């Protein structure tokens, strides 16, 4: 399924590049009275809790914005929708944005989204092995099969960074693409030796005896920001007021979410179907208010090092 989506993403980017797509302006810029409707495409995962929470707390209404949150199944659907102007903002991890940028897609990051907690072994994502596995640390992953949700993206590059940080041979690791929901079953069956999972699958894995051997985001860089909200350069250029208001509301939402983890856990029940008995044990990501440009540089360097992209895109051009 993921590979299929990746193929879709590729097809979509080709379509985008070859066609001057400027169809349908979805919403007009603030025009006096009444709130402006903003369409935001997000993935129904823990990382986007702040936007739901901010919406509930009225942070967007304060800015005169009315959020229309559309949950999509991944970047394959989000990036084309943002570039064609069907939605105003989208949520994506930074590596995907860097790859898209290096392929010439006109994108712009407008607000931070989610980041690593920075605490070894207590992050919202990590590499997990079965109980009793001979793999004890990231170093032992050399030559082993590791499942990631998308090949040539943030998770395999950061797992490689983890292996390097532990002094292992990162070239030798075999990555397999598997959807997060399928990973624990594959690990249990022995189809793979380790899996890189995020919440809620990390908590499920721990509950069932899985062992976290590395926190790949922590190993990559201190306080790595992983994902954020972006728009197209066209929207950024034609509706600067809208972007400014959205960024301001988003910043407030992220701050609120970071200070009120219980509210975050509670809001999860409204847009995901995560088992309520599991929510207290989830490790929440950090919700940084600023886009950490050092993180982007690191991810960009890793992407070039691992051959995801040939030349590093201009990170400054991607940032607000």
Partner 1 sequence: MTAAVTANATGRGRGGRRHRPIPAWALGLTGLLCLMAVVELVPRTGLVQERFLPPFSEMVSALVDQAGTSAFWQALLETLRGWAIGLAIAMAAGVVLGIVIGGVPLLRAAMSSTIEFLRPIPSVALIPLAVLLYGTEMRSTLLLVVYASFWQILLQVLYGVQDVDPVARETARSYRFRPLTQVRTVIWPTALPYVMTGFRLGAAVALILEITGELVIGSPGLGKQIAVAQTSGAVASMYALVIVVGLIGVVVNVIARTTERRVLRWHPSVRREVFS
Contacts to partner 1 by CB under 8 A:
4-5, 8, 11-12, 15-16, 19, 21, 23, 26, 39, 41, 43-45, 70-73, 76-78, 80-81, 84, 86-87, 179-181, 184-185, 188, 200-201, 204, 208, 271-275, 278
Question: How far is residue 107's CA from residue 169's CA, in Å, rounded to a whole number?
Answer: 34
Minimum distance, C-beta of residue 167 to partner 1, in the bound complex (Å): 33
Q: Which residues are registered as beta bridge partners of 230?
A: 90, 109
Minimum distance, C-beta of residue 204 to partner 1, in the bound complex (Å): 6
Minimum distance, C-beta of residue 256 to partner 1, in the bound complex (Å): 23
Q: Are strands 125-129 and 194-198 parallel, antiparallel or unpaired?
A: antiparallel
Q: Which is nearer to partner 1, 82 or 138 (CB)?
A: 82
Question: How far is residue 29's CA from residue 241's CA, in Å, rounded to a whole number?
Answer: 7
Q: Which is nearer to partner 1, 204 or 298 (CB)?
A: 204
Minimum distance, C-beta of residue 27 to partner 1, in the bound complex (Å): 12
E strands, the chain, where? 36-42, 65-71, 89-93, 107-115, 125-129, 145-148, 174-177, 194-198, 211-214, 225-232
Show Cβ contacts of residue 8 under 8 Å, excluding neighbours closer than 6 positions: 76, 77
Q: Which is nearer to partner 1, 242 or 315 (CB)?
A: 242
Q: Which is nearer to partner 1, 21 or 304 (CB)?
A: 21
Minimum distance, C-beta of residue 136 to partner 1, in the bound complex (Å): 25
The token duo for 218 is 């922590």
Q: Which is nearer to partner 1, 77 or 243 (CB)?
A: 77
């Amino acid at each position: 399924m993921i590979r299929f989506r990746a193929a879709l993403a590729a097809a979509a980017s080709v379509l985008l590049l070859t066609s001057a797509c400027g169809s349908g302006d979805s919403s007009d810029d603030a025009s006096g009275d009444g709130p402006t409707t903003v369409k935001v495409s997000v993935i129904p995962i823990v990382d986007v809790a702040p936007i739901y929470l901010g919406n509930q707390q009225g942070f967007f209404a304060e800015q005169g914005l009315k959020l229309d949150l559309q949950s999509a199944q991944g970047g394959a659907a989000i990036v084309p929708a943002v570039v064609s102007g069907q939605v105003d903002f989208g949520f994506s991890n930074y590596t995907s944005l860097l790859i898209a940028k290096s392929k010439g897609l006109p994108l712009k990051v407008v607000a931070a989204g989610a980041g690593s907690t920075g605490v070894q072994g207590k992050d919202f994502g990590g590499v997990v092995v079965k109980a009793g596995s001979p793999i004890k640390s990231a170093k032992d992953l050399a030559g082993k099969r590791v499942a990631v949700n998308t090949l040539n993206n943030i998770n395999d590059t950061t797992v490689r960074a983890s292996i390097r940080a532990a002094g292992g041979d990162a070239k030798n690791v075999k990555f397999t693409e598997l959807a997060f929901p399928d990973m624990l079953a594959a690990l249990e069956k022995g189809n793979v030796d380790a899996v890189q999972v995020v919440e809620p699958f990390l908590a499920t894995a721990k509950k069932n005896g899985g062992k976290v051997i590395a926190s790949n985001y922590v190993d990559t860089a201190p306080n790595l920001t992983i994902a954020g909200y972006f728009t197209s350069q066209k929207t950024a250029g034609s509706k600067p007021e809208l972007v400014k208001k959205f960024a301001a509301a988003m910043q407030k939402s992220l701050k609120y979410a970071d200070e009120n983890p219980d509210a975050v856990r509670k809001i999860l029940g409204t847009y995901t179907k995560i088992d309520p008995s599991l929510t207290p044990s989830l490790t929440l990501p950090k919700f940084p208010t600023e886009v950490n440009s050092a993180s982007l540089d690191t991810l960009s360097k890793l992407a070039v090092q691992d051959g995801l992209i040939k030349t590093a895109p201009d990170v400054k051009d991607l940032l607000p």
